[in-house]
Amino acid sequence: MAQFDPDRPDFSSYGLTCVHWIPSRMPRPDHHNEIEINLVQKGWLTYLLGGHKIHIQKGQMGAFWASIPHQIIDFAEGTDYFVVTIPLVWFLQRRLPESLVQLLMRGELALEDEKSRADCDKALFLQWEKDLKNPDQATKDIIILEMEARLRRMAAAIAAAASSRPACAHAPFSFQQGGLNKVEQMACYIARHYAEPLTVADISKETGLHPNYAMNLFKKAFGMTLLDYLIHHRVSHAQRQLITTDEKIVDIALAAGFNSISRFNEAFRHSCGCTPRDYRINHGVADVLGQ
């Protein structure tokens, strides 16, 4: 079974995969340009995803756009789960239900709670894992069709569950509601305010900590500095805009929170290994979105 490698290069691709994983507390966020699906077989997982603390329980299937920094911060002993990664371009080209596509493109979690499908899903994911070890093109084509069908079932199940709930059934998440420690509060605050001109003093003030103590605490817990974590979110925002819109690069840089195009280009090249313009060309999916 696989575990997260904290030394993997930032933004590197997983491709089309289905792998059985054992969770670990991730010392830093991961992000990659695929749609990620988690199917929890035993136990439960807790993520920080885009400023939210989310839980995926046994029998639930969750999907999200993995360019959003995501990080497992807690899990039950004995948890195991499947991770499927689907290239973004393929996902967009399948013309899946717009409700599901837009949910994921907004950086939110799609969560299906159909425990009656648990045995069927386990068999399906095991088959994908086996077939993807040495796939030929014909096998890949079959897997892609099966993944498309499963995602359509997911979209239908989520829509049916939403229609049966009262409109106010779920209040918006806020870390002030409790349940987050000081480090998680800082991470969530950055995820929600990264486009603003934040400083370490601003971030630490939100949790009532001295800036030096906040920086040391965050580095010890997440394995990166507060400022590096902030840059991660800004670059991820720019990635999403570059491949889903035709906005000017300078406008994307400013909207992501960078105060100059030169600082943006430097940070983007350092994180992604290429210029923003080359990234847009290499991942040109704006046309797929009809933009």
What pLDDT digit, counting tens, does each position of 218-271 carry?
888 767 789 988 998 898 889 878 877 889 999 999 999 999 999 999 999 998
Residue-wise pLDDT tens digits, 30-72: 878 789 999 999 999 999 887 678 999 999 999 998 877 889 9
User: Percent of the chain, pLDDT > 70?
Assistant: 90
Q: Is 92 helix (H, G, I), strand (E, B) or coil?
A: helix
Query: Per-residue pLDDT for 155 more than 90?
Result: yes
Residue 40 near residue 2 (C-beta atoms within 8 A): no
Contacts of 277-286 with C-beta under 8 Å, sequence gap 24+, read 277/249, 279/239, 279/242, 279/243, 280/242, 280/243, 280/249, 283/33, 283/88, 283/89, 283/242, 283/243, 284/243, 285/88, 285/89, 285/92, 285/243, 285/244, 286/243, 286/244, 286/245, 286/246
Q: CA gyration radius for the chain?
A: 19
Q: Which residues contact 113 (CB under 8 A, 6 or more apart)?
A: 57, 59, 60, 157, 161
Residue 232: the pLDDT is 82
> Chain-wide mean pLDDT for the chain?
85
How many angstroms separate the CA atoms of 133 and 200, rounded? Answer: 45
* Per-residue tokens: 129: 């894992």
- Once rounded to an integer, what is the mean pLDDT over residues 192-215? 92
- CA atoms within 13 A of residue 206's CA, in its CB half-sphere: 20
On the 0-12 / 13-18 / 19+ scale of CB atoms within 10 A, 5 is exposed
pLDDT greater than 60 at residue 168: no
Burial class (CB in 10 A: 0-12, 13-18, 19+), 93: exposed
In whole angstroms, give the CA distance from residue 59 to residue 113. 7
Reply yes or no on whether the pLDDT at 84 is more than 60.
yes
pLDDT of residue 169: 43
pLDDT at 172 over 60: no
Model confidence at 10, pLDDT cuts 50, 70, 90, reads low
Task: Catalogue all structural domains in the chain, each as residue range(s) with its CATH number.
Answer: 17-163 (2.60.120.280), 175-282 (1.10.10.60)
Q: Is residue 186 pLDDT above 80, yes or no? A: yes
What is the rounded average pLDDT of the residues 103-116? 85
What pTM does this model have? 0.67
Q: Determine the pLDDT at residue 102.
A: 81
Phi, psi of 86 (to 5 degrees): -125, 120
What is the predicted pLDDT for the residue at 187? 80
- Mean pLDDT computed over 156-160: 92
d(CA 81, CA 193): 31
